[in-house]
Structure 1
Amino acid sequence: MRLFLDLAYNGKAYHGWQIQPNAISVQEEVEKSLSVAFQQKISIVGAGRTDTGVHANQLIAHFDIDKEKINTSQLQFKLNSLLPNDIAIYGIYKVKPDAHARFDALSREYKYFVVTKKDPFLEDFAYYIKKELNIELMNEASKILLNYKDFKCFSKSRTDVKTYNCTIENASWKQKNHTLVFTIKADRFLRNMVRAIVGTLIEVGLEKIKPAAIHGIVKSRNRSNAGKSVDAKGLFLHKIEYPNEITQL
């Protein structure tokens, strides 16, 4: 039987999603709890990888278990009892045997939070900038991203990928009082891509570069031409979408 886990986490204490030697990860904590719950070693596959300090409102992972019936409500309760308080399971769903958390995802949506007023309650969840930002110019620059596919200029160096192509469906900023939220949705993302895009768009908002400069930056395919990567703490993996038929009723 294959199951999907719908989970969320505060990434502050973790070195990202993926298991790695000599560092605590979200995947490791979830696998540990599953293994205790089933009294056997359980491995999971996540829909993607978040970097150190990045949060998730939703991350989907799948795992297999050799059982015919499982009370998913009881399992969810047990896992939430075993997991640390900064990781939560929001749902467990039975899916088709070949359903894949990563490869079957249609899109992923990230949100990045910026504040222009010092706020101690958002210290761990937003990037603080002391200067006001021109959100109109930032949205103008954001729209330009939708005209391109190759985003090597925003990718972390030495990334082992076959292609730098991503299809961005939406990229926009909204502001409420002193909080600005950047939402970006695409079929896939490169390592460090969102944080590099946000850093570049902030330069536009500070009026250090013009929105039209985005064209040259993307076409250059050179990471050094884009802005700096902003802090991980403001970034949230917000939502992952799948085909409706992936669920096995």
Structure 2
Amino acid sequence: MIKWKESYKFVAVRYFMDISYRGTNFNGWQIQPNGITVQEEVEKALSTILKSKTPITGSGRTDTGVHASHQIAHFDADELDPVKLVFKLNSFLNGDISVNEIKPVKNDVSARFEATHRTYHYHIHQAKNPFKKGVSYYYHPQLNVEKINSACEIIKKWQNFECFSKVHTEVNNFNCQIFEAKWVLTGSDHLFEITANRFLRGMVRAVVGTLIDVGLGKKSLNSVRDILESNDRQKAGRAVPAEGLFLQEVVYPKEIYLD
């Protein structure tokens, strides 16, 4: 739908873009002075096709080496054919990035601020597998999944997660609402799934590192409570490698979409 101001100047339509990427060869999502990023590559392709500089804003940033099955970004442009644009973008982009869908949304909607739920998955495989290299963390020691899930129940009831945030992170607060946190074992593969309204920088990888310590018997359930109460990153577990982490899903209210 084309919209016009009273002065008859054209007002661009806002679109949401659903993007997947393998983060191995990128310095994260967000554009930065040194290193190739996903945002930079998508913006470059989009601007070339539309013949106009077209910035995009993502739902959030992922760190170096982190993947996304479902990242959302918004951009403004003249009215266009979303299906044709998806095809053209995928022709321009390298094999590590794909654009899955483009949809028009209300013009005042932000991909960053309107999301209600975000889900991350962390993958671990305990049997060496060359086909999982780079997209799952190879970690051989056996883990007590029952104890890990008991720790997940503690985490789900918490609100302040400063202990899992990267230090010197500039945020208004460290509060997150956790909707789901669970650890699933399938054969020799482990999957940690966590859904929240927002996440802090480095949070998921620090949570997984702490849960691994619980599964190894290095940390008790009481120590998990102590870590959460401390607000001290140094007391939590290590940050596990980026290769196993996926931004799995970003959810928005249905009413923001025009189609």
Does the alignment reach a TM-score above 0.5? Answer: yes
2:210 alignment counterpart: 200
SS in 2 for 1:197: helix
Counterpart-to-counterpart distance in 2, 1:22 and 1:146: 37
1:58 alignment counterpart: 70
Counterpart-to-counterpart distance in 2, 1:149 and 1:248: 34
Counterpart-to-counterpart distance in 1, 2:85 and 2:31: 23
Larger radius of gyration: 2
1:234 alignment counterpart: 244
2:137 alignment counterpart: 127
CA deviation profile, 1:12-46 (whole Å, cap 9, x unmatched):
00000000002100000000000011011010000
Counterpart-to-counterpart distance in 2, 1:142 and 1:221: 17
Question: What is the root-mean-square deviation in Å for CA atoms of aligned residues?
Answer: 0.7
2:175 alignment counterpart: 165
Alignment length (residue pairs): 247
Give 1:1-249 correspondences, 5 Å limit: 1-65=13-77, 67=78, 69-249=79-259
Counterpart-to-counterpart distance in 2, 1:165 and 1:136: 26
Mapped contact 1:195–1:230 kept (Cα < 8 A): yes
SS in 1 for 2:110: coil
Counterpart-to-counterpart distance in 1, 2:98 and 2:142: 35
**Runs of 4+ residues deviating >2 angstroms:** none
Give 1:211 shift. Answer: 2.2
* Structure 1 gaps, min length 5: none
Higher mean alpha-carbon deviation, 104-113 vs 116-125, is at 116-125
Mapped contact 1:15–1:24 kept (Cα < 8 A): yes
With normalisation by structure 2, the TM-score equals 0.94
Q: Which amino acid aligns with 1:159?
A: T
Mapped contact 1:146–1:168 kept (Cα < 8 A): yes
Counterpart-to-counterpart distance in 1, 2:233 and 2:154: 17
Counterpart-to-counterpart distance in 2, 1:56 and 1:45: 15
Counterpart-to-counterpart distance in 1, 2:232 and 2:109: 36
Counterpart-to-counterpart distance in 2, 1:241 and 1:44: 18
Mapped contact 1:141–1:212 kept (Cα < 8 A): no
SS in 1 for 2:234: helix
Counterpart-to-counterpart distance in 1, 2:221 and 2:185: 18
SS in 2 for 1:132: coil
Counterpart-to-counterpart distance in 1, 2:252 and 2:222: 34
SS in 1 for 2:190: strand
Mapped contact 1:5–1:92 kept (Cα < 8 A): yes
SS in 1 for 2:221: coil
* Structure 2 gaps, min length 5: 1-12
Q: Which amino acid aligns with 2:215?
A: G
